[in-house]
């Protein structure tokens, strides 16, 4: 069956124009469509052109919805054909460990040249023996909040403890400016809130042995109990239906006073300052600040969303893909992408904390070292496939959502514990 249609034709034309040595080498890179659209533009246009010049490789960047990436990985892995690199998020490399080519050499090189990877990046992309993927970036998660509104209720600084946070939220909600937090079934903002909340009260899924499930503990129950109060007193009830973008839009439209998010809200508000205004008519960007996770009895924790480049073992262009990975992860090339992110993503290596971009805007500073304090799901065990299963089934998020919907905290935790135990036993 002959190939028909634009792609086939375009492919032939493109390779006819390319230098002779480049013929036939195309790298297909599948990514999410970025919350910072400028970065996608950069990859598709300039980076692709440079890649052609520098490596003689034609770069095909395909972006799909983050929610749809896994369908593509699964069908590609099962049929043994598809993209040459998947930019996967969270601890997905552990899910696809058996199908990932060993990229230890590249990862070690990048780590050596750029000050080493953050612990969170390593936890999701390294299986204890080898690198399953090369960590690319980390989307830092902090609270975006409205400075003037928090000042009005007596918080010149962002609340440092959960109790202060609830208190501020209660006063704000009374003024019709609730906190906004999703508890829906969505990949980003829901787990990046619920896991740290659980950890900060001392709750965890398993012991360090990675087998003993200890979710049902007084600490976890206490965190769930706190969540129900926080929800009732301080949160926008619509949050149960939110996906990763609803809170951004609610914030930009001025209906919520704070929400846990990447920096994309602030970046969007700066991209079009005249579109997003405060109730006084001034640009909202001047009223946005970022605050770190409030602390509970056990401390303050974060779950930042790591992104890694995974090369599937089936790829027939492994040599070219390796050359490309070395190139795109090299300081000079990565920097160009990093700059377009404007801090939404931080690097996976520590060297990027020194980048001058952090001197430009003090509002972005909380993101600079954010990745240092992260934890990943599966704590205190390793972030393996079991932990990934619990994330993708939203077990922890739903534990809080169920309690918020009215069942007893103890029961919500008991049910979640049973589910986690089932997964770790299976």
Partner 1 sequence: MIEGPLWRKWLFVNIPIILFVFVLLFPFYWMIITTVRPDSELYRPWNAPNYNPFWTWRPTLEHIQYLLEETLFSTWMLNTMLIAGISTIISVICGVFAGYALARLNFPYAAGIGTGIFVTYLVPQTLLFIPLSDIIRNFSLGDTPWALILTYPTFLIPFCTWLMMGYFKAIPKELEECARIDGASRFKAMLYIILPIAVPGILSAGIFAFTLSWNEFIYALVFLSSPEQKTVPVGVTSELIRGDVFFWGPLMAGALLGSIPVALVYSFFVEHYVAGMTGSVKG
Partner 2 sequence: MSSATTEAGVGGIRRSRRRMLFEDERWLAMALLSPTILLLGLFIAYPFVTGVMLSLSNARVGVPGEFVGFANFARLWNDPIFAKAVGNTFIYTAVTTVFKLALGLWLAVLLNRHFRGKALVRAFILLPFIIPTVLSTFAWKWMFDPTFSVLNWTFRTLGLIDTRINWLGDPDLAMLSVMIVNIWRGVPFYAISLLAGLQTISPDLHEAAAIDGARPWSRFWHITWPLLLPVTMVVVLFSVIQTFADFQLVYVLTAGGPANATHLFATYAYQVAIGTGLLSEGAAISLAMFPVLFLVVIIQLLYIRRVETR
Task: Rule CB under 8 A: say whether 245 interacts with partner 1.
Answer: yes
Confirm or reject binding of residue 238 to partner 2 (CB under 8 A): yes
User: How many residues line the site for partner 2 (CB under 8 A)?
Assistant: 43
Which residue carries 């007893």 as its tokens?
Answer: 408
Residue 255 as a binder of partner 1 (CB under 8 A): the answer is yes
Select 265 or 420, whichever has its Cβ closest to partner 1.
Answer: 265
Q: What is the DSSP string of 48-110?
A: HHHHHHHH--EEEEEEE-GGGHHHHHHHHHHHT-S-SEEEEETTHHHHTGGGBPP-HHHHHHH
State how far the Cα of 169 lies from the Cα of 175, in Å rounded to an integer: 10
What distance in Å separates the CA atoms of residue 14 and residue 31, rounded to the nearest whole number? 22
C-alpha closest to that of 366 among 308, 306, 307, 300: 300
Cα separation of 371 and 303, whole Å? Answer: 9
Q: Which is nearer to partner 1, 49 or 253 (CB)?
A: 253
- Applying CB under 8 A, among 237, 279, 360, 361 the residue interacting with partner 2 is 237
* Residue 96 is a binding residue for partner 2 (CB under 8 A): yes
> Does residue number 74 form part of the binding site for partner 2 (CB under 8 A)?
yes
First to last CA, the chain: 43
Answer whether the bond into residue 380 is a cis peptide, omega within 30°. Answer: yes
Return d(Cα 265, Cα 372) in angstroms, integer.
Answer: 22
Site for partner 1 in 62-101 (CB under 8 A): 62-65, 68, 71-72, 74-76, 78-83
Pick one of partner 1, partner 2, none as the site partner of residue 5 (Cβ within 5 to 8 A by kind). Answer: partner 1
Does 4 participate in binding partner 1 (rule CB under 8 A)? yes
Shortest CB 190 distance to partner 1, Å: 15
Residues 245-274 that bind partner 2 (CB under 8 A): 246, 249-250, 253, 255
The smaller minimum CB distance to partner 1, of residues 8 and 362, is found at 8
Out of partner 1, partner 2, none, which partner does residue 396 contact, by CB within 5 to 8 A per kind? none
376 binds partner 2 (CB under 8 A): no
The CA distance from 208 to 204, in Å, is 10
- Give least dist CB 227 to partner 2, A: 13
Contact 287, 58 (CB under 8 A): no
Pull the structure tokens for residue 179. 């906190």
Q: Are the CB atoms for 143 and 158 separated by under 8 Å?
A: yes
Encode 160-192: b = buried (16+ Cβ within 10 Å), e = exposed: eebebbbbbbbbbbeeebbbbbbbbebbbbbbb
Nearer to partner 2, 98 or 359 (CB): 98
Question: Could you say which of 111, 121, 168, 183 contacts partner 2 (CB under 8 A)?
Answer: 183
180 vs 306 by CB, closer to partner 2 = 180
Nearer to partner 2, 220 or 345 (CB): 220
Instruction: Enumerate binding residues for partner 1 (CB under 8 A).
Output: 1, 3-8, 10, 28, 30, 33-35, 37, 60, 62-65, 68, 71-72, 74-76, 78-83, 244-245, 248-250, 252-255, 264-265, 267-268, 275-276
């Amino acid at each position: 069956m002959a190939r028909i249609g634009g792609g086939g034709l375009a492919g032939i034309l493109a390779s006819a124009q390319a230098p002779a040595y480049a013929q036939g080498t195309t790298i297909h890179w599948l990514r999410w469509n970025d919350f910072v659209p400028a970065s996608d533009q950069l990859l598709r246009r300039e980076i692709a052109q440079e890649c052609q010049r520098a490596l003689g490789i034609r770069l095909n960047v395909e972006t799909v919805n983050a929610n749809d990436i896994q369908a593509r990985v699964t069908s590609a892995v099962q049929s043994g054909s598809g993209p040459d690199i998947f930019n996967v998020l969270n601890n997905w490399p552990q899910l696809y460990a058996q199908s990932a080519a060993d990229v230890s050499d590249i990862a070690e090189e990048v780590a050596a040249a750029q000050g080493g990877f953050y612990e969170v990046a390593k936890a999701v992309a390294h299986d204890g023996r080898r690198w399953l993927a090369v960590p690319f970036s980390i989307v830092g998660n902090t609270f975006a909040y409205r400075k003037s509104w928090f000042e009005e209720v007596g918080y010149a600084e962002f609340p440092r403890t959960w109790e202060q946070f609830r208190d501020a939220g209660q006063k704000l909600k009374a003024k019709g400016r609730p906190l906004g937090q999703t508890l829906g079934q969505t990949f980003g903002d829901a787990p990046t809130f619920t896991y740290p909340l659980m950890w900060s009260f001392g709750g965890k899924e398993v012991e360090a042995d990675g087998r003993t499930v200890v979710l049902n503990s007084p600490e976890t129950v206490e965190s769930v109990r706190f969540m129900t109060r926080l929800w009732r007193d301080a949160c926008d009830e619509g949050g149960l239906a939110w996906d990763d973008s609803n809170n951004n839009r609610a914030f930009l439209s001025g209906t919520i006073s704070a929400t846990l998010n990447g920096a994309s809200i602030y970046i969007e508000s700066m991209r079009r300052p005249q579109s997003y205004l405060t109730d006084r008519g001034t640009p909202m960007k001047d009223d946005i600040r970022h605050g770190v996770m409030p602390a509970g009895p056990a401390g303050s924790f974060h779950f930042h969303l790591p992104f890694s480049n995974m090369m599937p073992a089936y790829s027939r262009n492994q040599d070219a893909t390796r050359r490309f990975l070395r190139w795109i992860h090299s300081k000079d090339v990565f920097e160009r992408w990093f700059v377009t992110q404007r801090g939404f993503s931080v690097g996976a290596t520590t060297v990027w904390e020194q980048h001058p971009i952090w001197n430009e805007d003090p509002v972005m500073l909380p993101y600079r070292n954010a990745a240092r304090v992260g934890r990943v799901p599966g704590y205190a065990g390793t972030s393996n496939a079991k932990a990934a299963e619990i994330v993708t089934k939203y077990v922890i998020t739903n534990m809080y959502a169920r309690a918020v919907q009215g069942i007893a905290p103890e029961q919500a935790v008991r049910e979640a514990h049973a589910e986690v135990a089932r997964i770790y036993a299976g």
